[in-house]
């Protein structure tokens, strides 16, 4: 069992007849899933998603895969296969197509519809190729077969990739609910058939590899929702992912049963459910006067007659639910309201969600979540189901995908238990290059694979240094020191003017640093130092040292040196 080493360098040329795999996202993290395969001089991409920022990345909207490894090679991509329509698998597609707009997008009907609605906002018309489970397609040297898998969004697919180098099975995200709401089972027969053919490499979803047993059926949620609705006195607000068609369906069914109208809240929720309804994946129950109302109408209705379905189950700062909790939304949370968080926690979002629950509770709402009621089941297979798939497929080689390091390690351990040799199991991380040559996988190098930050219209311009500055500003504030010097002599002409914001130091305190700055500038002038950059550094070090010694704080010091 191998894993990345810091000494890995640029990979050598791919051996003739071999296949290369590198994840540009999705390994060692939950999000921005993107895997690039190389064979016979051509490329195939599976998924292209985004990662959502955490508290250490202030101001960032999205995090993209690092496309730099594809620089100069975009014309070699035969297709981008999209396994399903969750943001962590499709969210970065517009940014990839900005670099080459005619890359074929291959996916199921719902997946492509949701991608196309997203691309419309970016004014991109894609080349979309719709496939169904059981279908086979050839793109260059890639012979693809698509298999149905059950997940928390309809129309999810696994993909089998056949080349001269061998047979690869990528499960995408999946679970094995035996009573799915849409009747669409994971194609275990297809997995077994591929196993009989001989799967040279299996890449499988690792998200719940640490969770024992098998998944709870989605059908078990309906009676729990009904009980919550029975006990609700005022408004009911259900928060879930904007792509969770099954959960929205269950909430609509419960609302119809209890005589409540439904309003969708949040742009992505309205857009996605509109697409799902148009394609027949979401069936709005027929009730007198219609079940769906718009948000303005919902605001005027008696609270005990309305259900709101909103985004924000992960505590996203600008989501509808977060704004409700912060009293910054037309919907005002009131005593007796019921809020249902109908989703699993994405790792890293725990504190944000806890904050939302506390704020909603403080406002008088009853908050129902996975921790105190069965209002959500995961869309990912736990360990018992992962073992089942490993035994069905019997892969020669195994690479766990889609998960943080602990999930990947747990899944690798399961593979070893089923008989996959330790030497044939690779735990890789983003950027690690794995080759399949003569039926054996091995780590051969690494490629650049950093975070690419989206901040408003800016893509890739925000750096780790920028984020560090933002964190310092947010935690410690800043102090500006403005001085005017003679450009010839370097002597101080005016200032220093010292100002602080958010640093916890008042003006009287700041006055003490003025003579220190004057002294260090006078000394520099005597030594003939008049280069602006050097003077800035002197001012920064002098001010920073004084603040640290007197206040034990490290605000950002912004020296401004003006020449006359």
Pick the CATH number of 218-368 from 3.40.50.620, 3.40.50.10710, 1.20.272.10, 3.40.50.300: 3.40.50.10710
**3-state DSSP assignment of residue 272:** helix
pLDDT tens for each residue of 238-296 = 998 888 999 999 999 999 999 999 999 988 899 999 999 999 999 999 988 899 999 99
CB 364 within 8 Å of CB 335: yes
What's residue 27's pLDDT? 93
Q: Give span(s): CATH 3.40.50.10710, the chain.
A: 218-368
Pick the CATH number of 464-563 from 3.10.20.580, 3.40.630.10, 3.40.50.300, 3.90.230.10: 3.10.20.580
Q: Angle at the Cα of 252 (from 250 to 255), degrees rounded to 5?
A: 110
CB 240 within 8 Å of CB 269: no
Q: What top-level class would CATH report for the domain 20-213+378-456?
A: alpha beta
Q: How far apart are CA 112 and CA 126, in angstroms?
A: 10
Residue 344 has pLDDT above 80, yes or no: no
What's residue 59's pLDDT? 63
Report the b/e string of 11-46 with b at 16+ CB within 10 A.
beebeeebbbbbbbbbbbbbbbbbbbbbbeebbbbb
pLDDT (average), residues 492-516 = 79
What's residue 127's pLDDT? 94
What's residue 460's pLDDT? 63
pLDDT (average), residues 116-142 = 94
Residue 484 has pLDDT above 90, yes or no: no
Which pTM value belongs to this model?
A: 0.82
Which carries the bigger pLDDT value, residue 508 or residue 536? 536
What's residue 96's pLDDT? 96
Which carries the bigger pLDDT value, residue 354 or residue 151? 151
What's residue 195's pLDDT? 97
pLDDT (average), residues 392-399 = 98
pLDDT tens for each residue of 19-54 = 999 999 999 988 899 999 999 999 999 999 998 776
What's residue 469's pLDDT? 61
Q: Give span(s): CATH 3.60.15.10, the chain.
A: 20-213+378-456
Largest CA distance in the chain: 88
Which residue is it, tokens 């609605």? 117
User: What rounded mean pLDDT belongs to the chain?
Assistant: 89
Please report the sign of the dihedral spanned by the C-alpha atoms of residue 20, residue 26, residue 29, residue 32.
positive
Which carries the bigger pLDDT value, residue 516 or residue 469? 516
Q: Give span(s): CATH 3.10.20.580, the chain.
A: 464-563
CB 490 within 8 Å of CB 528: yes
Residue 471 has pLDDT above 80, yes or no: no
Among 509-513, 527-531, 535-539, the minimum mean pLDDT is found in 527-531
Averaging pLDDT over each range in 286-295, 316-325, 465-474, 527-536, which range is the top one?
286-295
């Amino acid at each position: 069992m191998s894993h990345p080493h810091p000494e890995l360098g640029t990979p050598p040329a791919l051996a003739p007849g071999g296949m290369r795999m590198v994840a540009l996202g999705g390994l060692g993290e939950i999000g921005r899933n993107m895997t690039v395969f190389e064979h016979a001089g051509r490329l195939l991409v599976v998924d292209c998603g985004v990662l959502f920022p955490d508290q250490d990345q202030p101001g960032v909207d999205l995090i993209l895969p690092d496309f730099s490894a594809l620089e100069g090679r975009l014309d070699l991509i035969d297709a981008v296969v999209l396994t399903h329509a969750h943001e962590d698998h499709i969210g970065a597609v517009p940014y990839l197509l900005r670099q080459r707009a005619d890359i074929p997008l291959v996916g199921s009907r719902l997946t492509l519809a949701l991608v196309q609605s997203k691309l419309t906002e970016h004014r991109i018309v894609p080349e979309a190729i719709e496939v169904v489970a059981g279908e086979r397609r050839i793109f260059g040297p890639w012979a693809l077969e698509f298999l149905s898998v059950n997940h928390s969004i309809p129309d999810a697919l696994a993909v089998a990739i056949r080349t001269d180098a061998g047979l690869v099975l990528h499960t995408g995200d999946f679970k094995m609910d035996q009573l799915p709401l849409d009747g669409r089972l994971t194609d275990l027969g297809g997995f077994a058939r591929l196993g009989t053919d001989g799967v040279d490499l299996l890449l499988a979803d690792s998200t719940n590899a640490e969770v024992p047993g098998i998944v709870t059926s989605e059908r078990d949620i309906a009676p729990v929702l009904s009980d919550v609705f029975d006990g609700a006195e005022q408004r009911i607000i259900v928060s879930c992912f904007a792509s969770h068609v099954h959960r929205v369906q269950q909430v609509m069914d419960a609302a119809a049963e209890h005589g409540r109208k439904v309003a969708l809240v949040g742009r992505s929720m309205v857009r996605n459910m509109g697409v799902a309804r148009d394609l027949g994946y979401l069936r709005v129950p027929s009730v007198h006067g219609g079940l769906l109302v718009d948000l303005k109408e919902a605001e005027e209705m008696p609270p005990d007659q309305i259900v709101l379905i909103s985004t924000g189950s992960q505590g996203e700062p600008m989501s509808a639910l977060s704004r409700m909790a912060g009293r910054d939304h037309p919907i005002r949370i009131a005593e007796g309201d019921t809020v249902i968080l109908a989703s699993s926690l994405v790792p890293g979002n725990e504190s944000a969600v806890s904050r939302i629950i506390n704020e909603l509770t403080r406002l008088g709402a009853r908050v129902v979540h996975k921790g105190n009621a069965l209002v959500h089941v995961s869309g990912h297979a736990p360990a018992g189901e992962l073992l089942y798939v490993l035994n069905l497929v019997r892969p020669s080689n195994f690479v766990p995908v889609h998960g943080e390091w602990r999930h990947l390690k747990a899944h690798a351990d399961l593979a070893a238990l089923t008989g996959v040799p330790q030497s044939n199991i690779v735990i890789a991380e983003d950027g690690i290059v794995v080759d399949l040559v003569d039926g054996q996988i091995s780590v051969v190098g690494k490629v650049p694979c950093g975070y690419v930050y989206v901040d408003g219209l800016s893509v890739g311009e925000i750096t780790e240094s920028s984020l560090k500055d933002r964190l310092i500003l947010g935690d410690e504030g800043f102090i500006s020191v403005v001085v005017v010097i003679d450009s010839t002599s370097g002597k101080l002409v005016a200032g220093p003017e010292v100002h602080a914001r958010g640093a916890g130091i008042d003006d009287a305190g700041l006055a003490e640093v003025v003579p220190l700055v004057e002294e260090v500038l006078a000394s520099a002038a005597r030594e003939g130092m008049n280069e602006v950059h050097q003077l800035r550094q002197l001012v920064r070090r002098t001010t920073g040292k004084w603040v640290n010694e007197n206040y034990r704080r490290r605000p950002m010091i912004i020296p401004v040196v003006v020449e006359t």
